[in-house]
Structure 1
Amino acid sequence: MVFEKFQKEVTAILARYPVKRSALLPLLNLAQEQEGFVSEPAMREIAKILDLTPPQVFETVTFYTMFNLKPIGTFHLQVCRSLMCALVGSEDVVGWIKN
């Protein structure tokens, strides 16, 4: 069980929301804090806790860029890729990072 050690936190999160499914994002955050990413067992457990299907939880994880489906490195760099950032040289930064 992924949340065994964090049962108090899970209970506290669920208590804040009158509708259980509203606790989805906080529970995903808790899972990611615990493991460094949102694992498949964590998604299944969250789905069970919130009476959702695993695909509903997976859809949410893949929709938000703040969640990772696999472990990431020690440093996580994000570069703005919008038009405004591109106009001031974000592509140069991306090229520098890749090299």
Structure 2
Amino acid sequence: MMNTKTTTIAVYAGLISVIIGSATFALSWNLYDILGGPMPGTKVLLFPGSLTLIYVWHPLFTEEISFWPKFALQMFGQFFVVTAVIMLFVGLAKKLFRITQKQ
């Protein structure tokens, strides 16, 4: 299959998701008035970060934290969730590939 480590693939995917999430958030933030609302697809692309904001960080902190710490928490969540999911899927794919090669 491939000789790349599972963690390397997962970390790169996490970093790419943070870059895409930051760009999406910035575009949606700056185009809010022009579009009359959030940019289409923003909720989908920022879903992993939003999950951590709602279910991890919100119970620990109050809603009244300023913008930049909240943005940093969302991007950390984006990185963590995407990295964990990709690590799981790549690990499973490698195991399935090994099983099919033995038969």
Common fold by TM > 0.5: no
Q: Name the structure, 1 or 2, with higher relative contact order (CA <8 Å, separation 6+).
A: 2
Greater helix proportion: 2
Sort the TM-score into its range (normalised by shorter chain): under 0.3
TM-score, structure 1 length as denominator?
0.26
